[in-house]
């Protein structure tokens, strides 16, 4: 049964989190964030927004200069062991020994968490198989492709069967087919109860996978909530219209109340407010003697919101 009010228990609770790096750069300006247990959470933001810094602090790799982080109710500053046991982390940068074999990498990880080898073996096999790496288990990690290395990081992060999995750009450099496979894998984990937090620059990926999202910009959370509620705040949408005939200057003039942009390829771009109906566009195009050949959204909806909020 789905839990409703009161607010769902937080897997991760962040309050007034601040980070000033040694060189004086203020990367986090006091952020608050609640990541509900069981959610599939996207932390989005442009390059340098503070995503990896936030993840670094949650996972104990970066020291905060202010504020608190709780993981499953434990303060990360006072209970580092309890928090680490609950977290699986896939960092943005590859961070395994490249001369070690895949099997050594995942089994050693289990060792760090005090898991007996006999217990670790079936977990390693299950995850390496699911991530398509089983055949490579005795190869050195340096022989893997970029996408395989990223999947190895996921297999390693899951060795101690954490309740929360944090992935910093897990699909960067992963081809489309593998990415979809990875989505299915992450969905399966989430359905089994694992809270998943990911950062990605593929907004379509976030929109497809995640039920909650926070957008961070220059060290501040600019928007946070369910994916649905966020997308419903979008008050305009842009379309690309390909007409049968290339629009002439006078036809473009006839459309001027729509404030169209004629793109280099002859397509017409139009941005509609929430209050405007697409009927208005079809009518004006017809009056101008233009026939729609094809029509598409210029960007996906999350992308549009993201650009509005972070520009
Ligand atoms: N060790 C460091 N010393 C000084 N500044 C740092 C350090 N690490 C990160 N920064 C700065 O902090 C800001 C936030 O960096 P962070 O890596 O958290 O961004 P991000 O949101 O993960 O970006 P990306 O999408 O590029 O991965 C950036 O301006 C970065 O240059
Ligand atoms: Mg980053």
Q: How confident is the model at residue 308 (pLDDT cuts 50, 70, 90)?
A: confident
The 10s digit of each residue's pLDDT in 258-268 is 999 999 889 99
Q: Give the pLDDT score at 236.
A: 84
CA dist., res. 233 & res. 156, Å (int):
38
Q: How many CA atoms lie within 13 A of 293 on its CB side?
A: 9
The 10s digit of each residue's pLDDT in 180-210 is 999 999 999 999 999 999 999 999 899 999 9
Q: Is residue 152 within 8 Å of 144, Cβ to Cβ?
A: yes
Q: Give the pLDDT score at 259.
A: 93
Residue 269's closest CA among 243, 244, 291, 234? Answer: 243
CA dist., res. 16 & res. 31, Å (int):
5
Q: 147: part of which helix (H) or strand (E)?
A: helix 146-157
Asked whether 47 lines ligand 1 (CB < 6 A), one says yes
CA of 168 to the centre of ligand 2 (A): 7
Pocket test for ligand 1, best of 17, 19, 25 (most atoms within 8 A of CB): 25
CA of 268 to the centre of ligand 1 (A): 38
Pocket test for ligand 1, best of 14, 18, 50 (most atoms within 8 A of CB): 50
- Other CB atoms closer than 10 Å to residue 279's CB: what's the count? 8
The 10s digit of each residue's pLDDT in 36-53 is 999 999 999 999 999 999
- Other CB atoms closer than 10 Å to residue 193's CB: what's the count? 9
Q: Is residue 182 within 8 Å of 132, Cβ to Cβ?
A: no
Q: Quote helix, strand, coil % in the chain, to nearest 5.
A: 35, 30, 35
Asked whether 76 lines ligand 1 (CB < 6 A), one says no
Asked whether 57 lines ligand 1 (CB < 6 A), one says no
3-state secondary structure 47-100: CCCCHHHHHHHHCCCCCCCEEEEEECCEECCCCHHHHHHHEEEECCCCCCCCCC
CATH 3.40.190.10 fits 236-310, yes or no: no
Which-ligand-closest: CA of 168? 2
Pocket test for ligand 1, best of 53, 170, 173, 306 (most atoms within 8 A of CB): 53
Q: Tokens representing 161?
A: 């069967």
Q: Tokens representing 94?
A: 């590859």
Domain ranges of the chain: 10-232, 236-310
Asked whether 61 lines ligand 1 (CB < 6 A), one says no
Please provide the average confidence, as pLDDT, over all residues in the chain.
92
Cα distances (Å, whole numbers) of residue 86 to 103, 111, 118, 236: 22, 16, 21, 41
Pick the CATH number of 10-232 from 2.60.40.420, 3.30.230.70, 3.40.50.300, 1.20.210.10: 3.40.50.300
Q: Is residue 113 within 8 Å of 159, Cβ to Cβ?
A: yes
The 10s digit of each residue's pLDDT in 228-271 is 888 888 788 889 999 998 999 999 999 999 999 999 889 999 99
Q: Give the pLDDT score at 298.
A: 85
Nearest-atom number in ligand 1 for the CA of 169 is: 27
Q: Tokens representing 2?
A: 């789905």
**Sign of CA pseudo-dihedral 93, 10, 83, 70:** positive
Strand 268-273 versus strand 220-226 pairing type: unpaired
CA dist., res. 282 & res. 258, Å (int):
11
* pTM for this model (two decimals): 0.85
Residues in the chain: 311
In this predicted structure, the answer to whether residue 4 has a pLDDT above a threshold of 50 is no
The 10s digit of each residue's pLDDT in 82-125 is 999 999 999 999 999 999 999 999 999 999 999 999 999 999 99
| 167, burial (CB in 10 Å: exposed 0-12, middle 13-18, buried 19+) | buried
Tell me, yes or no, if the two domains 10-232 and 236-310 fold the same way. Answer: no
Nearest-atom number in ligand 1 for the CA of 56 is: 18
CA dist., res. 256 & res. 204, Å (int):
31
Q: Give the pLDDT score at 74.
A: 94
Q: Is residue 233 within 8 Å of 305, Cβ to Cβ?
A: yes
Q: Tokens representing 212?
A: 């909650």
Q: Quickly tell me which residue has 């050195």 as its tokens.
A: 140
CA dist., res. 190 & res. 156, Å (int):
17
First to last CA, the chain: 40
Q: 178: part of which helix (H) or strand (E)?
A: helix 176-191
pLDDT, average across residues 159-169: 97
């Amino acid at each position: 049964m789905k839990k409703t009010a009161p607010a769902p228990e937080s897997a991760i609770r962040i309050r007034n989190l601040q980070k000033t790096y040694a060189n004086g750069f203020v990367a986090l300006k006091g952020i608050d964030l609640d990541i509900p247990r069981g959610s599939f959470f996207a932390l989005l933001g442009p390059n340098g927004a503070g995503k990896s810094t936030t993840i670094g602090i949650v996972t104990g790799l970066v020291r905060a200069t202010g504020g608190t982080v709780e993981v499953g109710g434990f303060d990360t500053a006072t209970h580092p062991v309890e928090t680490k046991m609950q977290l699986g982390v896939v960092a943005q940068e590859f961070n395994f020994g490249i001369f070690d074999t895949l099997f050594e990498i995942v089994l050693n990880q289990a060792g760090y968490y005090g898991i007996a080898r006999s217990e670790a073996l079936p977990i390693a096999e299950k995850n390496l198989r699911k991530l398509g790496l089983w055949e490579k288990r005795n190869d050195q990690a340096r022989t893997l492709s970029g996408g395989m290395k990223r999947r190895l990081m996921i297999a390693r992060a899951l060795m101690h069967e954490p309740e929360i999995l944090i992935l910093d750009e897990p699909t960067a450099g992963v081809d489309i087919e593998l990415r979809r496979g990875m989505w299915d894998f992450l969905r399966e984990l989430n359905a089994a109860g694992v809270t998943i937090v990911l950062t990605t620059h593929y907004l379509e990926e976030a929109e497809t996978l995640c039920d909650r999202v926070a957008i961070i910009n220059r060290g501040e959370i600019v928007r946070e909530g369910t994916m649905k509620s966020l997308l419903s705040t979008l008050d305009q949408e842009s379309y690309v219209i390909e007409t049968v005939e290339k629009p002439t200057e006078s036809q473009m003039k006839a459309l001027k109340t729509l404030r169209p942009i004629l793109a280099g390829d002859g397509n017409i771009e139009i941005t509609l407010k929430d209050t405007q109906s697409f009927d208005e566009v079809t009518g004006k195009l017809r009056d101008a003697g233009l026939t729609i050949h094809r029509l598409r959204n210029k960007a996906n909806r999350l992308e549009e919101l993201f650009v509005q909020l972070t520009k």
